[in-house]
Amino acid sequence: MNKICSVELLDDYKISLKLENGSSFVYNLKPKLATTRFAALEDIDFFKEGRLVDNEYIWWSDSLMLYVYEMLDWMKR
């Protein structure tokens, strides 16, 4: 399982990630904002408050987290 080395929350709801295996990518969360799960992140200030936890996920609140494996799975589709 890949772990996140660093994360940067960019404008326009993009997330720049560096993984411990040396890979990096930018994940666009904007299409997911229409879902109930991520709707709260439409507030860009709240989105930018996300933080990396345990090198495995981005945390915004106890009910709103995004794991690296989810981003990698969504990018494969």
Domain boundaries, the chain: 4-76
* Confidence band for 1, pLDDT divided at 50, 70 and 90: low
Contact 16, 29 (CB under 8 A): no
**34 three-state secondary structure:** helix
pLDDT tens figures, 17-33? 999 989 899 999 999 99
User: CATH 3.30.2020.10: does it fit domain 4-76?
Assistant: yes
pTM for this model (two decimals): 0.88
